[in-house]
Amino acid sequence: MQDCVISGTGLWVPPDRITNAELVASLTVAVERWNEAHKAEIESGTLEERDLPNERFIVKASGVENRYVVEKTGVLDPERLRPHLPTRSEDEPSIQCEISVAAIHEALDQAGREPEDVDAVLVACSNLQRPYPAVAIEVQHALGASGWAYDLNVACSSATFGIQAAVDAVARGNARCAVVVNPELTSGHNNFELRDYHFIFGDACTAIVIEPADGCRNEAAWDVIDTRLVTKFSNNIRNDFGFLNRSEDDAREAHELVFRQNGRRVFREVCPMVAELITKQLGDLGLAPSEIRRMWLHQANLAMNQLIAKTVLGRPAEQDEAPVILDEFANTSSAGSVIAFHRHRDDLASGDLGVLCSFGAGYSIGSVVLKHR
């Protein structure tokens, strides 16, 4: 078995940025129009009035101040509330392929590798634009990579589940240079119609290069010390969008099919599970929490991350111990913890230890212990 490293990471940031103020302004108009259009049903009690959004609530409840999206005019149009994406012909790269390739190029540059070195591509994300052909196989083709490729979806934990799959493949010699890429176009699946959900997500794409430690060309690579995964079924975060929708006898509304959650319950149930997994993993590795220099946590909610870090460390974490990117990016699903790792690791020294950890729908949790070379 080979020891493995993460030798490079890349990040694609979408062209458009939306502040909370812009988002609240557009939803306020949309909600007022909706309530007016449904006045009779609301008065007769067959429909509930929709509540107006609130900028202060968003920052206080989540820590999100901003997000990037692939296309903002459609999202901010009160009559549309979803991005405009031109239909592409089959001869053009799909949008997820395009953003994946952009993030992968940066990651390969860091690793000192060429696209032809890649022989495994895992597209790991919550929001895949089609079932087949696998986006990963299209990415493999666009890169000019050899080997094999497949898509996987474990919601917000897709990146860490992808890392474990890639590490297993490289360690066993089934790949020499694997790329895990997380093209999260959450704006296509987010519910911008309801105030409970409209602020939560943002788009981004991250990429990670995994290869054998032996022969790694990047002196600043990170040794993969251990990977751990856990899943436990829950309906508290769901997305029911799929090919069976069109055959259902009781057709559901669009907002019943895209992302929805019971945020309070997720918060209460997932935080202890995450802290327990990390604590047990460190214990099994003979590491004290005090030896962990940094935690790159999934970026869904600021208070959630503060609670998890505090439970693991036994004291409140300094900002630099659990860096935050959700204020700028919002929840980018599986890309979030990888953005934190991509942006916040250059200051660490050789021998420093860190934990890259994601959590989300399923429930699913993945934790990767890393050591700076």
> What is the length of the chain?
373
Distance from C-alpha of 228 to C-alpha of 5, rounded to nearest angstrom:
16
Annotation says 271 is catalytic: no
* Distance of closest approach, residue 197 Cβ to ligand COA, in angstroms: 8
Structure tokens at 70: 């692939």
Distance from C-alpha of 161 to C-alpha of 338, rounded to nearest angstrom:
12
* Distance of closest approach, residue 301 Cβ to ligand COA, in angstroms: 3
Structure tokens at 76: 């901010």
Binding positions for ligand COA, rule: CB under 6 A: 53-54, 57-58, 61-62, 156, 195-196, 237, 261, 263-264, 266-267, 300-301, 304, 331, 360-361
Q: What is the CA radius of gyration of the chain?
A: 21
When CB distances to ligand COA are compared, the closest residue is 263
Distance from C-alpha of 200 to C-alpha of 202, rounded to nearest angstrom:
7
Question: For residues 68-96, b (16+ Cβ closer than 10 Å) or e, as one string?
Answer: bbbbbebbbbbeebbbeeeeeeeeebbbb
**Which lies closer to ligand COA via its Cβ, residue 94 or residue 305?**
305
Three-state SS annotation for 84-139: CCCCCCCCCCCHHHHHHHHHHHHHHHHHCCCHHHCCEEEEECCCCCCCCCCHHHHH
User: Is the preceding peptide bond at 133 cis, omega within 30 degrees of 0?
Assistant: yes
* Distance of closest approach, residue 210 Cβ to ligand COA, in angstroms: 24
List Cα–Cα distances, 345 to 91, 111, 127, 320, 366, in angstroms: 39, 15, 27, 10, 19
Which of 4, 97, 125, 156 is flagged as catalytic? Answer: 156
**Which lies closer to ligand COA via its Cβ, residue 239 or residue 279?**
239
* Distance of closest approach, residue 107 Cβ to ligand COA, in angstroms: 23
* Distance of closest approach, residue 30 Cβ to ligand COA, in angstroms: 13
Question: What are the residue numbers of the active site?
Answer: 156
